[in-house]
Amino acid sequence: MSRYIATRAIRGANLIVNEFEQMYKQAMNEKGAETPLAFPNTAYHLPLILGMTGQAVEKLGDLQSILDRAKNLLHPVPPDHRWTPYLGETLDAGMATLLAEEGIEAVRFAYKQQPEVLPGFKLAGGTSFTSPEFGGNGDGHLNGPIDDIQLRTWGIQLVDGRMPGFAAIVGCAKSNEVAVKIVRELQRRNILTFLSGNVNGRSIIHQLMEEGVELGYDTYTVPFGTDTISAIYALGFATRSALTFGGMKGGQARDILLYNKNRVFAFVLALGEVDDLKYATAAGAINFGFPVIADTVIPEILPTGITSYEHVVALPFNEIPGKDDLERAENLVQKCIEVRGVKIKLTEVPVPVPYGSAFEGEVVRKQDMRIEFGGKKSRCYEYLRMLDFDAVQDGKITVVGPGFEDHPVGAAMDLGIVVDVAGRKMQKDFEPVLERQIHHFVNGASGIQHIGQRDITWLRINKAAVDKGFNLRHFGDILHARFHADFGAIVDKAQVTIYTDPHEVEKWLGIARAAYDERNVRLGNMTDESVEEFYSCTLCQSFAPNHLCIVTPERLGLCGAYNWLDCKASFQINPTGPNQPIKKSTTLDASKGYWAGTNEFTEGASHQQVHEVAVYSIMENPMTACGCFECIAMVIPEANGVMIVSREDTSMTPAGMTFSTLAGMAGGGLQTPGIMGHGKFYILSPKFVSADGGFKRVVWMSSILKEQMAEQLKKVAEREGDPDLIDKICDERVATDVEGLVAYITEKNHPALSMESLL
Ligand code: SF4
Ligand code: ZN
């Protein structure tokens, strides 16, 4: 342990805890102990404080005990002689710093000084701060803390490996050019990047803003704030990962820290001069097992009992090998990845624009758009089919019809994408599984936006991508490269045809639609009774170690991304992977959904935490959830029914909680009767809570679900023998409390009211 680092970290900790104390006292005088304190859009209060101390801070006065705790962790600054600082004292200083920093940000929120305002700044994509309270459309505000909805969205990507880890960058790069390069290198590897801090007032956020780099959730680069204190949001995110996905509770500090050390591949990159507060904050990060890499000369901390890798690594920028600064930046990122052991899977895709999952959520706005396909003004579809081995010429890309060169900027045109694949292990049942990947694959290209699937596909290409040379053929190049890379076990050959010729577009649309119909029937005809085995999905166990989804033909995984056919395909592609067949064997209770095989499998896969699952019930032994569910169903006893909240719905619900709060109760791999996470399409299944009365139990549903699935829900209502049922179901536009809900369903004579009591 370097005495130099210890000295500076302890000094930094003393300073920031003192600042916290001053700020707290002033706020108590000005606002009083009862002033509410919260970060927006999270159910985890002040998440780091909750995780480390178990205390749910709700009002200003609650901070007193946090301040006391932080002070207790402080040690005297070592004198110049005769004192040997220990790692323990430095780590304590780090923890004190994090408690103080989170406390300070909370007080700033109470003064509406967070998220930070940066004139001229514009966040890319949606954020939590789009409400008027936080400045209208987000203009001018940095992101501040990450909201729970985003945490869950990223959770699934962190678990399935699309996102290998996160980097917390603090400070300012050598030049704007270097700043951009570092971020691009991280994006290219799909590493989530958090930005904060400054050196002499200049932040990497300023640098990236000046270079026109889009920052926000959409691009995996989140600007927290231009001071070091805002780096606390990265550690709040890490803490919540453990609480959300690891099933841990506030106060399990040691478990939360170990969870992060073992499962969250994160590191801190300190750019530019490191001051006392940065040392202190870095010491906080080391508590989480996150190493700190600095691009300046500082003493290093080598491996000790806590970690098998270095805690602090100095890589003075000018000494990094490379012919120029850009190469040095690239090598710096590479070194960070090596130090933390982040696992990266890179596929080279031959397109003239940057490519990687970091660009998947990117939005192409109308004013930036060169051309679009689908949407309101034109038609776009995609269709993947399996052909005989000899009928496919691998790598052949054909464009039938004119390109978009002659269309004016911002125009719309028709497009059909047809992918033919062949492979010895390919099966017809895999077609939809592979076809659905087109969405991810195409979205990976920077400047391309892909929404929807089948014949409701909507594609946009932005001007910048076209300037770099992107054309229609490149869709084929992307698909060819990715199908080989990701599905090489079943796809031996792939060819792609892009249709723009009006006659051909029409003809192939007919062929595609006939195939979609056929598939619907095939999936539609499959019942849980018609198969011998279900599938497990334990993909989320890297985050929720005791959770598994049991995926049946009539109940898809709760994230909505894996249905029974997908799991079957995934098992064939990777027989030792996360999707294993579960033999049903003896039926114990057909109506509640108990089988000897599913119980036995659950017992093992949950590490003896869950012994039985009633696949069709919310009331008795419901299936557990990790954290990435699309919807939450919860029993509303007063209405004798269940409500279904979509993750896209941020409004209040009749349960008196928003989705975020409910998610805290439903997730973490625990069984909680009366509440359950599930996939959107499960609502349409005849097996939806069928043990408890089925779809007729639904008394309230987020309106967005009603809108998105209007057609299908109509059919469900007919199936249930009550064609007007959907109209009898309340939503947040009518009522967000129990009284309003009961009044509405009583007026509509909802069938749940006359059903057997749920409790
Ligand atoms: Fe996670 Fe379940 Fe989705 Fe698998 S099916 S990825 S376990 S949520
Ligand atoms: Zn999950």
> Do 294 and 418 sit in the same domain of this protein?
no
Ligand 1 pocket, residue 166 CB under 6 Å: no
User: Do the domain assignments include residue 247?
Assistant: yes
Q: Locate the ligand 1 atom nearest the alpha carbon of residue 540 and give its number.
A: 1
Tell me the CA–centroid distance for residue 556 and ligand 2, in Å: 13
Q: Which of 152, 539, 631 to mutate to test the pocket of ligand 1 (most atoms within 8 A of CB)?
A: 539
Q: How confident is the model over 599-608, as a mean pLDDT?
A: 93
Out of 284, 309, 340, a domain closes at 340
Rounded CA-CA distance 601/41 in Å is: 36
pLDDT digits 0-9 by tens, 426-452: 888 788 878 878 988 999 999 999 887
Tell me the CA–centroid distance for residue 663 and ligand 2, in Å: 12
Rounded CA-CA distance 724/161 in Å is: 44
Burial letters 263-295, b for 16+ CB under 10 A, else e: bbbbbbbbbbebbbbbbbbbbbbbbbbbbbbbb
> Do 219 and 72 sit in the same domain of this protein?
yes
Ligand 1 pocket, residue 561 CB under 6 Å: yes
Ligand 1 pocket, residue 155 CB under 6 Å: no
> Do 403 and 275 sit in the same domain of this protein?
no
Rounded CA-CA distance 108/598 in Å is: 50
Number of domains in the chain: 3
Residue nearest to atom 3 of ligand 1 (CA): 559
pLDDT digits 0-9 by tens, 57-116: 999 999 999 999 999 999 887 766 545 556 788 899 999 999 999 999 999 999 999 999
**Greater model confidence, 141 or 503:** 503
pLDDT band, residue 616 (cuts 50/70/90): very high
User: Do the domain assignments include residue 348?
Assistant: no
Does residue 666 contact residue 725 with C-beta atoms inside 8 Å? no
User: Do the domain assignments include residue 349?
Assistant: no
> Do 532 and 463 sit in the same domain of this protein?
no
Q: How confident is the model over 202-217, as a mean pLDDT?
A: 93
User: Do the domain assignments include residue 467?
Assistant: yes
Q: Is the pLDDT of residue 164 over 90?
A: no
pLDDT digits 0-9 by tens, 3-14: 788 889 999 999
> Do 540 and 668 sit in the same domain of this protein?
yes
Task: Report pTM.
Answer: 0.65
> Do 229 and 331 sit in the same domain of this protein?
yes
User: Do the domain assignments include residue 173?
Assistant: yes
Does residue 499 contact residue 476 with C-beta atoms inside 8 Å? no
Rounded CA-CA distance 177/182 in Å is: 9
User: Do the domain assignments include residue 501?
Assistant: no
Q: What is residue 136's predicted lDDT score, i.e. its pLDDT?
A: 43
Ligand 1 pocket, residue 537 CB under 6 Å: yes
CATH of the domain at 418: 3.30.1650.10
Rounded CA-CA distance 661/653 in Å is: 10
> Do 592 and 680 sit in the same domain of this protein?
yes
Q: Is the pLDDT of residue 514 over 60?
A: yes
pLDDT digits 0-9 by tens, 544-587: 888 999 999 999 999 887 889 888 887 887 777 789 999 999 99
Q: How confident is the model over 186-191, as a mean pLDDT?
A: 88
> Do 533 and 491 sit in the same domain of this protein?
no
Out of 307, 340, 373, a domain closes at 340
Q: Locate the ligand 1 atom nearest the alpha carbon of residue 567 and give its number.
A: 5
Look up the domain containing 601 and give its range.
528-754
CATH of the domain at 166: 3.40.50.2030
pLDDT averaged over the chain?
90
Q: What is residue 161's predicted lDDT score, i.e. its pLDDT?
A: 64
Ligand 1 pocket, residue 550 CB under 6 Å: no
**Greater model confidence, 154 or 38:** 38
Percent of the chain surpassing pLDDT 70: 92
User: Do the domain assignments include residue 518?
Assistant: no
User: Do the domain assignments include residue 505?
Assistant: no
Starting at the edge strand that comes first in sequence, how are the strands of the sheet with 397-400 ordered?
380-386, 415-422, 493-499, 397-400
Ligand 1 pocket, residue 558 CB under 6 Å: yes
Q: Report helix, strand and coil shares of the chain as percent, to nearest 5.
A: 45, 15, 40
Out of 340, 365, 398, a domain closes at 340
> Do 700 and 642 sit in the same domain of this protein?
yes
Rounded CA-CA distance 465/352 in Å is: 8
> Do 161 and 63 sit in the same domain of this protein?
yes
Percent of the chain surpassing pLDDT 90: 66
Q: Which of 340-349, 387-396, 628-637 comes out lowest in average pLDDT?
A: 340-349
> Do 621 and 722 sit in the same domain of this protein?
yes
pLDDT band, residue 126 (cuts 50/70/90): very low
pLDDT digits 0-9 by tens, 700-740: 999 999 998 898 899 999 999 999 999 999 999 999 999 99
- DSSP states along 118-182: -TT---SS--GGGSGGG-TTSTTB---SPPHHHHHHHHHHHHTTSS--EEEEEE--SSHHHHHHH
> Do 331 and 372 sit in the same domain of this protein?
no
Ligand 1 pocket, residue 194 CB under 6 Å: no
